[in-house]
Structure 1
Amino acid sequence: MDDSPDIFGDEPEEEALSAADLEAAGQESMFGAPEPRQAPKPAAAAPVISAQPYRVLARKYRSQTFAELIGQDAMVQTLANAIKRDRLAHAFLMTGIRGVGKTSTARLIAKALNCVGPDGQGGPTIDPCGQCEPCLAIAEGRHIDVIEMDAASHTGVDDVREIIEAVRYAAVSARYKIYIIDEVHMLSRNAFNALLKTLEEPPPHVKFLFATTEVDKLPVTVLSRCQRFDLKRIPSELLADHFAMICGKEGVEAEPEALAMIAAAADGSVRDGLSILDQAIAHADLGGDGKVSAVQVQEMLGLADKTAQRRLFAALVGGDATGLLDLIDQQFALGVDPPALLRGALELTHRVTLAQLGRDESSFSVDERNAVSEWAQRLSAGQLHRLWQLLLKGHDEVKTAPDPLVAARMALLRVLHASDLPDPGTLAKQLESALANAPRAESGAAPALEAAPVASLGWEQLIETVDRSGQLRVAQVMRDWVRVITLTPGELTYAVAAGYPGDVGPELRDALLRATGERWTVQRGEGEGAPTLREQAEAKKAAEDAALRSHPLVEAAFAVFPQAEIIEDTPDARVASLGNKWRN
């Protein structure tokens, strides 16, 4: 094929520019000389996409050494002593709430048992090097002799049978073959039974590491074959320090009060706290300055404002009902849940009680410490305990109420009005003062009850005879409606209490005949007659109540509590008791 240029004017392809040409192309031409050829513009660079996706803080800062495992010093010390003395159990069980480091601890134990050191000559150690091949492979989850299994998705006997078959073979490259079974309580009963023999007498090269949040669901036969470690909730102060350290590594500025809020919301769980911190950092970035502030965290978590909490508590103990309702409405409008209002008051009550015992907390703001200190001096222990009980009851009511806002208002108003009542010690002093000023009764004289008319014993016996004969309705009419004028053997003259319909004479005549076997002369007479047995009982009770209310001790109590009511079932016994005490 002819390589000569096309004679019809087609230009040959332009050669690539040399480095000298490119340099000359950037210089200006002189005296209007033609410009040299320009180098083609390079294509726009493609956006750089990170090869590694973002790792959440809970994964990025997972403990890689026992020194990084916060809040579990007792367990770490026990493991360290066991490794030093070569007294390693064949099965370990880690229990505790979510996010305290159960699975991380299992992986750290696997590292500690299989670490060979940077030189490859090391043995089991509580401080694995993190550099040798076993440490790196276990940290990355690719070690062939460290098998992790999720019991939630492998619950049956067949899954356990695979483990039983595999434990017979020695480890491929590690010192120990380790089985980490997470959420072990999810195994079925048959799976547990199948594992028992192997768990009790495993080969010397096998270790079992179990983790669970619900240890109560494990059979006792499994618990007795494991060395158990109960991982503790992480204290809020330790969590706040841990989050501050992570913020420093991440280059994020955070207010101490914001970290304290996150630590309190984490409820002892490191993972929960790191998830909230991740969210708080993202929320702070939207604000522009990238600082995690207490106001942003409060808004993000829907917490009541600390200042508003203190104002609400001040209204409670100060009796300001109008201000209290206004604060409740303001907080509700800001999105604070009604139960959170009572939780805030409960938290402040607890803090004030601790402050009375000298247990002030350093994580509080200066304003809050000053307010808590002032309340601790002004309120008594009895008032604080009563506040706690009332708020706790109100919190339970609000959680189950059909309208939580209305329930919160009523519950807090009840607490406010109850705060005006004296505590038992003050009440006792007020009663003693009232008794000291009351006129004393004469020595040996008990409060007298006005004598009530008593019906003839024969009439009561006659009613009982009618009652025993099976005529219950007529006997009840005789008690409630019949007033005796005269009563002699075989003859009854009576009157009827107002309100009874008709005449009771024929029924009385028939009932007495059937009850006694004799015919009675029963006739309705003139006059009111003696009160019925029911009227006599009511009069007696009214007299007893009047005597009880007139007692000096009861009068003193009513002077302190004007709206009180007497709910004594047996006032006569109560009056006698008060009379004895008064005479003494």
Structure 2
Amino acid sequence: MTALALARSWRPKTFSELVGQDHVVKALTHALDQGRLHHAWLFTGTRGVGKTTIARIMAKALNCTGADGSGKMTSEPCGKCPACMEIDAGRFVDYIEMDAASNRGVDDIAALLEKAAYAPSNGRYKVYMIDEVHMLTNHAFNAMLKTLEEPPEHVKFILATTDPQKIPVTILSRCLQFNLKQMPVPLIVEHLEKVLAAEKVEYEVNALRVLAKAAQGSMRDALSLTDQAIAYAAGKVSEESVRGMLGTLDDAYLIRILDCLIAKDGASLLSVANEMGERSMSFSLALQDLSSLLQKIAAAQVVPESVLEDWPEASEIRRLATQLTKEEAQLFYQITITSRPDLSLAPDEQTGFAMTLLRMLAFRPGIGGGGNSSPAPSAPPVSTPRPAASAPRAATPAPAARVSAPTAAPVSVPAAAAPTAVASSAGRPDWHALMRQLPVRGLVQQLAFQTELQEWNDSATGVRATIVTPMPQLASEASVGRLADALTAHFGKPVKIVIEKGEVEGKTVAKVDAQIHQEKRMNAEQMIAADPFIQQLEKEFGAKVVGGSVKPL
């Protein structure tokens, strides 16, 4: 005889056997014990969390007569009376299960409601269980409204759905609604341990954790995957066999990936991706597992006690939490979750996964490539001077002079010039010219353009620069570090930056650029206003130049 699947043979038959839905069990048992029964219940939740199981237990509780045949409605059905045994066997005439996915029309509902008027044949109540009720048509919903609101005393309705948003509010208002929770991984593992112990199957706890995680909150899926793992392993259910069956990634690969990112080792990153490809692993699941690991690392950085001792990777999470900055953990997590949908667009999943790893390396704060070690500070690129840049700069231009001279706009200064090209006679550099010259981009450039030099202490061992910024939110540790690296490369000696918050006395590069742009815009508007053709349009057609629409080239 063929053995029943674990999901069927281990289906709970009483409320006490039900796992993970204590809030629902508590409400229903109290209602049964006190005799305060509603006429319609709606169970919502994802697949495999116990909606149909609870409906069958409720049907038994409503119709149980006890082992001696004289029992009353109870929250603890006996399982031995004819009603309990026939409901478990699926042949109780007064318990009707209907699949709304295949019986969704108004005629199907009308036939069901017509039979509801008749008294039960064998039981105390007629119990109608409509599964996936959200699949009914609008006409079918409307047809059952009146009966659902005021059914005969001998009729109880149990509705179940995985998508309650599609159920009309007129139906929802007539039911008691219970939202069934997804099963947490520890609870699934605990239940699987009991099942495999009773089935006399050897197992590894880590293998059960992998199965529980793959089930994604569904106890039925967990039992089905366990059935498959038993057949696949042909013996002991081990972590290795389960991962091989599911194509999931060993945590060791994830740890190696993060270690390679920390070491800035691009070659090893690609080597890990190639190894995973050779083992035919699922790269989509790999990104899912990597994002989960990064979330645990980020949580450990903020709340160290969130790392549980029973996690196999607990020690590695604590180590990586100290070696990655909070910004890096957040950045890697964001890249991981946003790259999963892109795998389908890549030439193949392995290529997409490898590009995701390289993207993490490329966008890691302070990193511009994937060498085996920290990249040495490179010399600033040499550019051909523009004609406007050929005029000699004033040693220490006054703020007004910088504003009035358009040639002081963001013009590339020859990067090969000696550091003294931006230094005054007193050794204090022209901060504005220096900031324009540095090869920095993005947030670091924004920080550079929003600062003013306050102190410049130059010694044989290095430079200590105190700068003031009105926008301290730009002065993150990573941005200040990259600005200091660029200054160190420029002057050939260590430069330490001290950030102070406050309003600048003069004008920052950003303010100078904004004023220059404003002057150019005003000049452009004056030129447009003085243009004879524009004046003719205004005179003959009543045209007007929209304020703020003129932009200088």
Q: Return the alpha-carbon distance in structure 2 between the equivalents of residues 545 and 187 of structure 1.
A: 66
Counterpart position of 1:583: 506
Q: Return the alpha-carbon distance in structure 2 between the equivalents of residues 135 and 373 of structure 1.
A: 52
Give 1:404's match in structure 2, choosing from 329, 344, 349: 349
- Give the direction of change, closer, same or farther, for the CA distance of 1:329–1:547 in structure 2 (3 Å limit): closer
Mapped pair 1:449 → 2:396: no
Q: Return the alpha-carbon distance in structure 2 between the equivalents of residues 371 and 334 of structure 1.
A: 24
- Give the direction of change, closer, same or farther, for the CA distance of 1:554–1:132 in structure 2 (3 Å limit): farther
Listed one character per residue, the Cα deviations across residues 346-390 of structure 1 (whole Å, up to 9, x for unaligned) are: 12111112223121134422xx22111111233332321122122
Mapped pair 1:381 → 2:381: no
Counterpart position of 1:315: 260
Q: Return the alpha-carbon distance in structure 1 between the equivalents of residues 354 and 441 of structure 2.
A: 23
Mapped pair 1:338 → 2:283: yes
How big is the shift at 1:67? 1.5
Mapped pair 1:76 → 2:21: no
- Give the direction of change, closer, same or farther, for the CA distance of 1:197–1:404 in structure 2 (3 Å limit): same
- Give the direction of change, closer, same or farther, for the CA distance of 1:174–1:59 in structure 2 (3 Å limit): same
Listed one character per residue, the Cα deviations across residues 44-63 of structure 1 (whole Å, up to 9, x for unaligned) are: xxxxxx3xx22111111111
**Range with greater deviation from structure 2 (323-332 or 401-410):** 401-410
Q: How many residues align?
A: 416
Q: Return the alpha-carbon distance in structure 1 between the equivalents of residues 48 and 69 of structure 2.
A: 33
Give 1:354's match in structure 2, choosing from 295, 299, 307: 299
Q: Return the alpha-carbon distance in structure 2 between the equivalents of residues 153 and 115 of structure 1.
A: 30
Give 1:552's match in structure 2, choosing from 431, 444, 451: 431
- For residues 271-290 of structure 1, what are the structure 2 equivalents within 5 Å? 271-285=220-234, 290=235
- For residues 38-53 of structure 1, what are the structure 2 equivalents within 5 Å? 50=1, 53=2
Confirm or deny: 8 A CA contact 1:319 1:420 kept in the other structure: no
Confirm or deny: 8 A CA contact 2:141 2:171 kept in the other structure: yes
Counterpart position of 1:504: none
Q: Return the alpha-carbon distance in structure 1 between the equivalents of residues 120 and 433 of structure 2.
A: 84
How big is the shift at 1:556? 5.6
Aligned residue identity for 2:151: P
Counterpart position of 2:545: none
Counterpart position of 1:419: 364
How big is the shift at 1:123? 2.0
Aligned residue identity for 1:391: T
Counterpart position of 1:199: 148
- Give the direction of change, closer, same or farther, for the CA distance of 1:114–1:193 in structure 2 (3 Å limit): same
Give 2:162's match in structure 1, choosing from 195, 201, 213: 213
Q: Return the alpha-carbon distance in structure 1 between the equivalents of residues 227 and 432 of structure 2.
A: 64
How big is the shift at 1:68? 1.6
SS at match of 1:237: helix
Listed one character per residue, the Cα deviations across residues 18-66 of structure 1 (whole Å, up to 9, x for unaligned) are: xxxxxxxxxxxxxxxxxxxxxxxxxxxxxxxx3xx22111111111111
Larger Rg: 1
- Give the direction of change, closer, same or farther, for the CA distance of 1:200–1:555 in structure 2 (3 Å limit): farther
SS at match of 1:545: coil
Give 1:267's match in structure 2, choosing from 200, 216, 221: 216
Q: Return the alpha-carbon distance in structure 2 between the equivalents of residues 451 and 226 of structure 1.
A: 75
Task: Structure 1: give runs of 5+ residues left out of the alignment.
Answer: 1-49, 423-440, 453-539
Confirm or deny: 8 A CA contact 2:101 2:136 kept in the other structure: yes
Counterpart position of 1:92: 41
Task: Structure 2: give runs of 5+ residues left out of the alignment.
Answer: 368-394, 415-421, 423-429, 453-468, 472-501, 508-553
Confirm or deny: 8 A CA contact 1:260 1:363 kept in the other structure: no
Q: Return the alpha-carbon distance in structure 2 between the equivalents of residues 553 and 248 of structure 1.
A: 74
Confirm or deny: 8 A CA contact 2:211 2:225 kept in the other structure: yes
Mapped pair 1:258 → 2:199: no
- Give the direction of change, closer, same or farther, for the CA distance of 1:94–1:577 in structure 2 (3 Å limit): closer
How big is the shift at 1:450? 7.8
Counterpart position of 2:270: 325
How big is the shift at 1:562? 3.6
SS at match of 2:158: strand
Q: Return the alpha-carbon distance in structure 1 between the equivalents of residues 224 and 88 of structure 2.
A: 21
Q: Return the alpha-carbon distance in structure 2 between the equivalents of residues 238 and 577 of structure 1.
A: 52
Q: Return the alpha-carbon distance in structure 1 between the equivalents of residues 167 and 442 of structure 2.
A: 54
TM-score by length of 1: 0.66
Q: Return the alpha-carbon distance in structure 1 between the equivalents of residues 212 and 309 of structure 2.
A: 14
- Give the direction of change, closer, same or farther, for the CA distance of 1:565–1:239 in structure 2 (3 Å limit): closer
